[in-house]
Structure 1
Amino acid sequence: MGVAVIGGSGFYQLEGLEQREERVVTTRWGTPSAPLVKGVLNGVEVIFLARHGIPHRIPPHRVNYRANLQALKDEGADSIIAINAVGGIHPRMGPEALVLPDQIIDYTWGREHTFFADQLEEVVHVDFSYPYSERLRQQLVAAADACSVELQVGGVYGCTQGPRLESAAEVNRLERDGVDIIGMTAMPEAALARELDLEYATLALVVNWAAGRSEALITMEEIHRVINTGMINVLSLVREALARGEA
């Protein structure tokens, strides 16, 4: 089974990757965000892709999600661990918390969100009742236990359009909807993975309290500080997950 890791904000390379090979590829949907980096980590073959490009230059609503997912599929991936930086609403999901969500609500608009739009012989619908692979999720839970990394298991990821952050009133609405963490990149990525029959799980690092959940203003300086410290645990957990299950 081939595993891919999609890195979000602050996770631009897979440290420790051996036998590295960069591949510049294209797909019928266009070019992925960055070259695919193939290599071996803890004895497991891995493909890494930086979602926002290198350097970080592609905003969430401009990511070519279809090209990214198709390229990983074409290179042999059948499962994906996606890393996302998010804001926290739930009291237990504050800055530096790691969250393994089990549900998604999509608030995005105008994104190319399906492979099944044009020149179809028949309309295609995919079951998206449970967006994340339970096998991958349990693999990440076991990895967290092995690494002694605290992981919040379960939660609803609300995916907003971006690139601006949300207003306090919008966050109040999201909370009423049942959202626990807010990000901008889970959709349509997760749905496209389902359309390609790829197992998919999100590992989210909370980098700030959502608007109105703290008296402090949200600053990029503080977000980058949390990213720099929190991604150490993310990397440890991903490495352990790969070693334990070859994803």
Structure 2
Amino acid sequence: MKIAIIGGTGVYDPKILNNIKDLEIATPYGVVRFKSGEYAGQEVAFIPRHGSNHSIPPHLINYRANIWAMKKVGVQNIIATTAVGSLNLDMKPGDFVLIDQFLDFIKNRTTSFYEGGERGVAHLDVTTPYCPSIRNVLMDAAKQIGISIHTQGTYVCTEGPRFETPAEIKMFAKLGGDLVGMTNVPEVILAREAEMCYATISMVTNFAAGISPQPLTHHEVLETMQANTENIKKLILTAIERLQPDKDCACKHALSEYGGFKL
């Protein structure tokens, strides 16, 4: 099982895969329950980030357990999805964005497997936080199926679960943010520490507070996601057909200075 999909808001359905099984893996951070299935000759893991009924808020997702479990079952490539608000008028509701940078505004989450003690301390390079190889595959897949996609974007990660104030959105825009969401950090960091290739497809569901003419609602987010569900599924599945999970990549050597990542 070398490929995983981590589905964000609205992407809960593993039925895009065949021969679906329920699995669970024990990790030092808790038990992870997930699905596995098959597509294009590959066994693929599927984790709905918020639980299958959207029951886990962003700040309580067990990010370390999820990434550890995927590493343990042999996953080398992760395609993640996130629902985001836009700070950039060129990135409109319904648009897909392949983010390439992030700004970290989380407050209470653990962002590393390396907190001293037995595992020691590691200082991770995140000059290129999202895997260039998977991003290229996603760009080619989008071109093949005729889906328009923004190929760059800076994701601002906030703590949640509340939406942001107009003043915060104004600040994030001044700092160079394009999109705002609540889940991509620390997931992207932990995947890199675990020496896995990881990329995110962000789908714009609304303009952020102060830009949007009306108050934000979770219902609005879900509505936009549902309208684009088929496109996001098509994009992920076309990318899986093109992925070469065993291909070597700098992501897979991210901690070589420390002797590599060890479970």
**TM-score, structure 1 length as denominator?**
0.95
SS, match of residue 215 in structure 1: coil
The aligned residue for residue 261 of structure 2 is none
The aligned amino acid for 2:112 is T
- Aligned pair partner of 1:182 in 180, 183, 194: 180
Match of 2:140 among 139, 142, 155: 142
- For 1:239, what is the secondary structure of its paired residue? helix
Gaps of 5+ in 2: 246-263
Structure 1 gap ranges (5+): none
Distance 1:123 1:223 in 2: 38
The CA distance in 1 between the partners of 2:182 and 2:65, in whole Å, is 18
**In structure 2, what is the Cα distance between the partners aligned to 1:50 and 1:246?**
23
Q: Which residue of 2 aligns with 1:46?
A: 44
Q: Establish whether residue 132 from structure 1 lines up as the match of residue 130 from structure 2.
A: yes
User: Hey, what does 2:23 align to over in structure 1?
Assistant: 23
Alignment-mate amino acid for residue 228 of structure 1: Q
1:118 aligned partner: 116
Tell me by how many angstroms 1:223 deviates.
1.8
Structure 1, 232-241 or 40-49: larger mean CA deviation: 40-49
CA distance in 2, matches of 1:94, 1:15: 28
For residues 36 and 119 of structure 2, what CA distance do their matches in structure 1 show? 35
Output the CA distance in 2 between the equivalents of 1:158 and 1:69.
21
1:147–1:237 Cα contact (<8 Å) kept: yes
| Kept after mapping to 2: 8 A contact 1:44/1:246 | no
Q: Is the 8 A contact 1:39 1:46 kept in 2?
A: yes
Matched to 2:181, the amino acid is: G
Residue 45 of structure 1, CA deviation: 1.6
Question: 1:93 deviation in Å?
Answer: 1.1
How far is the alpha carbon of 1:6 from its aligned partner? 0.1
Kept in 2, the 8 Å contact 1:85–1:183? The answer is yes
Q: Partner amino acid for 1:92?
A: D
Q: Cα RMSD between the aligned structures?
A: 1.3
Q: Quote the Cα distance in structure 1 between the aligned partners of 2:19 and 2:230.
A: 22
Q: Secondary structure at the match of 1:31?
A: strand
Equivalent position amino acid for 1:142 in 2: D
Structure 2 contact 58–160 (Cα < 8 Å) conserved: yes
1:85 equivalenced with 2:83 (yes/no): yes
Paired residues, number:
245
Q: Give the distance between the partners of 1:218 and 1:119, measured in 2 at CA.
A: 43
Please tell me the residue identity of whatever aligns with 1:179: G
In structure 1, the residue matched to 2:98 is 100
Q: Secondary structure at the match of 1:24?
A: strand
Deviations 1:44-84 (A, max 9, x none): 22110111112111000000100000001101101100110
Equivalent AA in structure 2 for residue 200 of structure 1: Y
Say if 1:131 and 1:46 are closer, same or farther in 2 by CA, change over 3 A: same
Are the counterparts in 2 of residues 31 and 64 from structure 1 also a CA contact under 8 Å?
no
- Report the counterpart of residue 193 of structure 2 in structure 1: 195
Q: Percent identity?
A: 37
Label 1:19 to 1:246 Cα distance change in 2 as closer, same or farther (>3 A).
farther
Aligned to 2:56: 58
User: Residues of 1 paired with 2:113 and 2:120: CA distance?
Assistant: 13
In the alignment, the residues of structure 2 paired with residue 220 and residue 64 of structure 1 have an alpha-carbon distance, to the nearest angstrom, of: 21
Aligned counterpart for 1:219 among listed residues 210, 217, 220: 217
Distance 1:16 1:188 in 2: 26
Structure 1 equivalent of residue 259 of structure 2: none
